[in-house]
Structure 1
Amino acid sequence: MPIRVRRTRRARLSCRTLVTAAAAALTTALLTPSGAQGAPVVRESAPVHSYADAIRESVWVDTGLDGDGDGRADRVAADIIRPREPAAAGRKIPVIMDASPYYACCGRGNESQKKTYGADGDPVQFPLFYDNYFVPRGYAFVAVDLAGTNRSDGCDDVGGRSDVQSAKAVVDWLNGRARAYTSRTGHERARATTWSTGDVGMIGKSWDGTIANGVAATGVEGLRTIVPIGAISSWYDYFHSQGAPLYDANPSWLSDYVNSPEASERCGAVQDRITAATPYSGDWTPAWTERDHVRDAGKVKASVFVVHGQQDLNVRANHFGQWWDALAAHGVERKIWLSQTGHVDPFDFRRADWVRTLHRWFDHYLLGHENGIDREPMADIERAPDRWSTDRFWPPRTTAPTELRPGKGAAPGVGTLGRTPAPPGATETFTDDPDLGENDWAAGIDSPTPAKAGFVTRTLTRDLRLSGSSRVTVTATPTTRTAHLTAVLVDLGPDTIRDYAAPGEGITTLTERTCWGASTSGDSACYKETEAHTADVGHTVVSRGWADLGTWADPRKGRPLTPGTAYTVTLRLAATDHVVPAGHRLALIIGGTDKDLLDPPSTTPTLTLDLARTSARLPLVGGPTAFARATAGHAQGRPAPAERAPDGLTAPQRSGHPIPGEPR
């Protein structure tokens, strides 16, 4: 039964917002599509305010924490730019906020922009286009330095209480519930309620979007919407996957990476505590609970616009999948864009559509404009480079979990994948090879290689669509006391995709620039254009997941294995939306260490799979019936069926197509 969407906007728009929206109507463009007789008027905020004359100021907000242990409450810096005209007229305005640890250490966006300041200490350059575009349209933009970073006190604690409270305190201040000061150490109060409606929209990519998730999960009043882009939903899943270590599986190095030089000198003890509280073993600890936003999805009062690259191998796709499912379970109003890119901002893979959509999103949720964006398709999905489709609901309502079973093939390591269980006693064996990974396994899918077990469907006669998260249950007998497992789903067949493995993760940055808002000599609204960077491939990895076999009894705690004993573990694969076209095959590959993605175990195990007790549970649009039709084959002497779009899928459109209800 579909879960009813909770309509957050009507119930929670503040009275201040409604008054502001009415006043703003005097300076709002009323747009009617050309030639549409009697069509409803579409209200849209217009660039009527001076960006050059905007008020630029900094405040330091009291977080109520003392993360660096100096005996004083930490203050976090919030740099503000807001139009002068509403303030002069006594009108209050909403806030778009990006809270980040990157404003000084690393920069934001494709061009690594940093904040800059004038001789008086006031902000001059705000990274990204949000200020240039939205301030002339009647919004304030606030760029917050997380604790320990740039001009803020305290120590960054990598997703913990200090991180989240850094941004939440600013939301509270904007609503009159917290104190701020005009300097880092002074006592002169700064008040936001004279100009702010208290209605806030948080946005950001990567760590910034993670903070937006975390603040929303506190249920703070005044936060109306968040736009997390490539964001973490649970920090444990950034460093581990069911006990298996990913990358450098400890967050303390990230703290040192973003802390200001002053914070680095005083925050060593904090980093030591983080290291001790988040063991490399992958066991779940209270520190991970503190950094798990999924468990608090029921507190979210804001609407959520999720953007994620399905091939993001930095913040992997399981982050948006588990967050989305938790939001759906609680009826949170939501929207999603899924691209073919890696860890890339939509400004750099679908720029014009992104700016227009984000504009309408903030107009709706922060200004209260009835522009219809909440009634449009829930999902936009990139099917091929720069070709997008939409879904009214996501995953489509006809999606159903479908169990597929591996079977023995004609050669070792080359098995079948279908609906029929393998007979008791059927096995496949492979030996972990840390020098090989998912693409090596897929390239050798039809060869009896010793480092993987592969299982392949028949060639499809119809398109088959996966939409959502998969589970793969594996029963394996190891030869050693430690073992890691990888499960990947692969589309076997030629295609042209965004080259997510290249340095640009699916984009190429060009030299020409386009401008998105107003500029000053110190803050340009013009950014380098990009285009899709593509690759012709013979296979596409659709989804992946990893686990330490030692977590077979408890996904939160590993145990030493007994060689020769069979263990059963279920791997959670990342969410995806992918169409395997007719003429291709779908493969399930089970291996050990996934090179460059998973750290190897301390031993080199050989694992024997019990095929009768191994299965994959896939989210297929159309369910088991769709799979049966796609793999039925052709009757002898009869033509193959005509190509048709899989259930729930609209015809792909090129990027830049008009949004329904919006004038060209």
Structure 2
Amino acid sequence: MEIRARGTRWSSRSIVATAAAALLGVLLIPTAARGAQPPAAGAAAQESRPVYSYEGAIRESVWVDTGLDSDKDGGSDRVAVDVIRPREPARQGRKIPVIMDASPYYSCCGRGNESQKKTYDAAGDPVGFPLHYDNYFVPRGYAFVAVDLAGTNRSDGCVDVGGRSDIQSAKAVVDWLNGRARAYGSRTGTDRVRADWTTGATGMIGKSYDGTIANGVAATGVEGLKTIVPISAISSWYDYYFQQGAPLYDSGPDWLAGYVESPEASDRCQAVRQRLIDEAPRTGDLTRLWTERDYVRNADKVRASVFAVHGMQDLNVRTKHLGQWWDALADAGVERKIWLSQTGHVDPFDFRRAAWVPTLHRWFDHYLLGYDNGIDREPMADIERAPDQWSTDRVWPPRGTEPTTLRPASGTVPGVGTLGRTPAGPGSTETFTDDPRLDETDWAADIDRSTPAKSGFITRPLSRDLRLSGSATVTVTATPSTATAHLSAVLIDLGPDTIRDYSAAGEGITTLTERTCWGPSTTADSSCYLETAARTAQVDHTVFSRGWADLGTYASAGHGRPLTPGKPYTLTVDLAASDHVVPAGHRLALVIAGTDRGLIDPPSTTPTLTLDLNRTAARLPITGGAEAFHRATTGTAPPHSAPRESRPDGVAEPRRTPPIPGDRSR
């Protein structure tokens, strides 16, 4: 089960209730020899090896005291922690690091493409751990720790959807692993259990909600958390349910809490769920509840390195989450690595498995064992350019990427304008009427036709490739005819291509029948998983970035207000981060419209909006900046130095090259 937004092609409630949650080479890894010595740590060590017995590993459960009483029962909440660790290191007097996945899904919904759940023997001891992390890493000298968030599976407390209880569930475990918190051998017992077998070095990993918890724990600055690997993860829960006041989901966090919590928690946590209703109004106002769940504001506290993975067509946890988190981490000087795929909400284990597992192995070896294997000096970014075709960049966004202002202008056909560097003349306008029956694919299909529900602006065919890398914005000045209005802005690559079919079931992958194995197995825990292949589609256009907003938030991002019909309002819409190359011969298009069906909810009225084109502009992250755009759209170099950038209100501002995130040469 995954957190999932309602999409054009999905019904959130039906999919959430039926789909597998965390979608997580072809090599059988033999069972490790028992009692073998690991390679020595230090500069000469390059790789941890499978030298420990998986079958003979210690499997145990402890309950960690969180120090909270979220269910108000008078006792401190204890969260259940299932541990699997090799037996031999303790006998040898060696301590080991920890890989941890903290999740609300271990009993309700399952993890991975095959919806695996935790399993226990008759005595209640863990015997089956979801995903391959235990099978692969335990023989290599790591412990794997699977944490049930408060209010789920065998834990006390209440789910609060990214709030203090959720984050403390996992942070307390990191504290326990580092000797700062208490754990017990049972849910109600007094028998203390100490983690004297670990170095305390912890790496958190997980997809979707699990990766979100990793972000949140890292943002506390907890000591001992050395690295996180957030996959398709949320960075601010407000931006999961809304974007700039526009509702993105047909339910609130109370519904998600009720879905994942245990039956026992359902009875005792009514007050917490009521708070999730009362303090998360569907108006889209930015309340204290949402501020508490914004990890981006605390990115400067992050001590851990971050290996972020995201699908650029993820319409569940949209790449706005990745972009704002990545930029904040860059500002804080955090060590980072990134993979961007063409998939939707899919784990790299299921779109690039043969490369993912060894890359993750080397990442953990470096940050948890201290091996100098060079992964920190390799290219920062891996980006999928076409199905199963990848490129790399030393830093991301790449050097020379500059925010470049493009201007929409009217054309000869109403609603079909141009997109370039020249501002529209004073008084130039375009008009559209919100039609909640249509979506971005409808707008793209009709880009060259005058239709009443959108305004489209298109470049001429490009003479050379044009790369956009990072986060974009579109500033719109619009006059509504009614008191409410929602806006959508999308960037489209107009031209034929073969892409991963992110809109189909699987969101870009097809699950096959053969299996590959990633470590030793037991009768209760197999290391063998169904293989996948890219599911592709032939298209004549690709929407590669989008953003939405309630025009009523023009004055305050945190509070919407009624509009005065006939009055112009200016608002900047944030677009999701992406990395896309518009090939030579294709055209780049910007569409501004109303409701994007299935991706945002419509306003309470049906407004007609008139755009003031002289005060409307897109600010796009173009590699090579204005000069690259000029060359691509004219086939020639600019006749003189690129003009100064200017804001949509026509006020000039000096050109400046921003620091490239992660580029240590600056």
Do both proteins adopt the same fold according to a TM-score greater than 0.5, normalized to the shorter chain?
Answer: yes
Equivalences, count = 603
Question: How far apart are the structure 1 equivalents of 2:40 and 2:511?
Answer: 33
**Map 1:171-182 → 2, pairs under 5 A:** 171-182=174-185
Residue equivalent to 1:188: 191
Cα distance in 2, alignment partners of residues 56 and 249 from structure 1:
39
Kindly provide the amino acid, as one letter, of the partner of residue 27 in structure 1: P
CA distance in 2, matches of 1:167, 1:380: 29
How far apart are 1:88 and its partner, in Å? 1.5
| Deviation for aligned residue 1:556 | 1.0
- Following superposition of structure 1 onto structure 2, how do residues 481-492 of structure 1 map, counting pairs within 5 Å? 481-492=483-494
2:146 aligned residue: 143
Structure 1 Cα separation of the partners of residues 334 and 38 of structure 2: 32
SS for the counterpart of 1:602 is: coil
Which residue, out of 157, 166, 171, partners 2:169? 166
- Which of 60, 68, 71 does residue 68 from structure 1 map onto? 71
Match of 1:27 among 20, 38, 50: 38
Instruction: For structure 1, list consecutive stretches of 5 or more residues without a partner in the other structure.
Output: 1-23, 32-39, 636-664
Determine the structure 2 residue equivalent to 1:214: 216
SS where residue 332 of structure 1 aligns?
A: coil
Shift of 1:606: 0.4
Determine if contact 2:417/2:456 at 8 Å carries over to the other structure.
yes
Q: Structure 2 CA distance, aligned partners of 1:579 and 1:230?
A: 22
For 2:144, what is the secondary structure of its paired residue? strand
Distance in 2 between the 1:598 and 1:634 partners? 41
Which position in structure 1 is the counterpart of 2:17? none
Q: Which residue of 2 aligns with 1:226?
A: 228
1:46 maps to which of 45, 49, 70: 49
Q: Does 1:108 align with 2:119?
A: no
Divergent runs of 4+, >6 A: none
* Equivalent residue number for residue 16 of structure 1: none
Partner of 2:356: 354
- Paired residue for 1:322? 324
- Structure 1 partner of 2:624: 622
- The separation in 2 between residues aligned to 1:84 and 1:454, in whole angstroms, is 63
Inter-partner Cα distance in structure 2 for 1:248 and 1:213:
25
- Does the 8 Å contact 1:29/1:43 carry over to 2? no
Q: 2:201 aligns with which of 177, 181, 199?
A: 199
Offset of residue 253 of structure 1: 0.4
1:419 corresponding residue in structure 2: 421
Is 1:371 the counterpart of 2:373 in the alignment?
Answer: yes
Q: Identical aligned pairs, as a percentage?
A: 76
| Residue aligning to 2:60 | 57
1:648 corresponds to which residue? Answer: none
Aligned-partner Cα distance in 2 for 1:440–1:42: 55
- Measured after TM superposition, the shift of residue 25 of structure 1 is 11
Q: How much does 1:28 deviate?
A: 2.1
Residue 435 (structure 1) aligned to one of 423, 434, 437: 437
1:393 aligns with 2:406: no
- Whether the 8 Å CA contact 1:432–1:451 is kept in 2: the answer is yes
Matched residue type, 2:306: V
Give the whole-Å Cα distance in 2 for the aligned partners of 1:125 and 1:446: 55
2:597 is matched with 595
> Which residue type is aligned with residue 79 of structure 1?
D
SS of the residue corresponding to residue 190 of structure 1 reads coil
Which residue identity is paired with 2:488? T
8 Å Cα contact 2:41-2:370 kept in structure 1:
no
**Equivalent position SS for 1:305:** strand
What one-letter code is carried by the residue in structure 2 that aligns with 1:622? Answer: G
Q: What is the deviation of 1:90?
A: 1.9
Distance 1:415 1:217 in 2: 44
- TM-fit CA distance, 1:268: 1.4
Match of 1:605 in 2: 607
Amino acid at match of 1:377: P
Q: Give the match's secondary structure for 1:569.
A: strand
Give 3-state SS (helix, strand or coil) of 1:169's partner.
Answer: helix
2:584 is the alignment partner of 1:573 = no
Q: Match of 2:47, SS?
A: strand
CA contact (8 A) 1:210 1:233 kept: yes
CA RMSD of aligned residues (A): 1.4
What do the CA deviations read for 1:121-152 (whole angstroms, capped 9, x no partner)? 11011000000000000000000000000000
The answer to whether the aligner puts 1:403 opposite 2:397 as a matched pair is no
Q: Is the 8 A contact 1:113 1:127 kept in 2?
A: yes
Question: Could you tell me which of 284, 297, 300 is aligned with 1:298?
Answer: 300
Q: Is the 8 A contact 1:66 1:73 kept in 2?
A: yes
Shift of residue 514, structure 1, vs aligned partner: 0.2
TM superposition score normalised by structure 1: 0.90
User: Offset at 1:431?
Assistant: 0.4
Preserved contact between residue 468 and residue 579 of structure 2 (Cα < 8 Å): yes
Match of 1:280 in 2: 282
- Residue of structure 2 in register with 1:561 after alignment: 563
The residue that corresponds to 1:6 in the other structure is none
CA displacement, residues 528-579 of structure 1 (integer Å, 9 cap, x when unaligned): 0000000000100010000000000111110100000000000000000000
Q: Does 1:84 align with 2:87?
A: yes
Of the three residues 536, 539, 542, the one matched with 1:537 is 539
**Alignment match, 2:458:** 456
Could you tell me how far apart the structure 2 residues matched to 1:273 and 1:420 are? Answer: 50
Residues 141-167 of structure 1: CA deviation (Å, up to 9, x unaligned): 000000000000011000000000000
Deviation for aligned residue 1:47: 0.2
What aligned pairs does 1:470-481 form with structure 2 within 5 A after superposition? Answer: 470-481=472-483
| Corresponding residue SS for 1:252 | helix
Mapped partners of 1:154, 1:274: distance in 2: 15
* Aligned partners of 2:483 and 2:563 also within 8 Å: yes
Q: Report the Cα distance in structure 2 between the residues aligned to 1:161 and 1:275, rounded to whole angstroms.
A: 16
**Which string of whole-angstrom CA distances, capped at 9 and with x for unpartnered residues, describes residues 222-280 of structure 1?**
00000000000000000000000001252110000100011111111111111111111
Q: Shift in Å at residue 41 of structure 1?
A: 5.9
Partner SS, residue 78 of structure 1: strand
Q: Deviations over 1:603-654 (max 9, x none)?
A: 000000000000000000000000000000489xxxxxxxxxxxxxxxxxxx
Report the 3-state secondary structure (helix = DSSP H, G, I; strand = E; otherwise coil) of the residue aligned with 1:631: helix
In the other structure, the counterpart of 2:7 is none
Residue identity in the other structure for 1:92: K
Could you tell me which amino acid in structure 1 is paired with residue 38 of structure 2? T
Closer/same/farther in 2, CA of residues 626 and 634 from structure 1, 3 Å limit: closer
Q: Alpha carbons of 1:30 and 1:69: their partners in 2 closer, same or farther (altered >3 Å)?
A: closer
Cα offsets for 1:101-136 (capped at 9, x unmatched): 000000000000000000111101100000000000
- 2:156 paired residue number: 153
Contact 2:41 2:371 in 1 (8 A): no
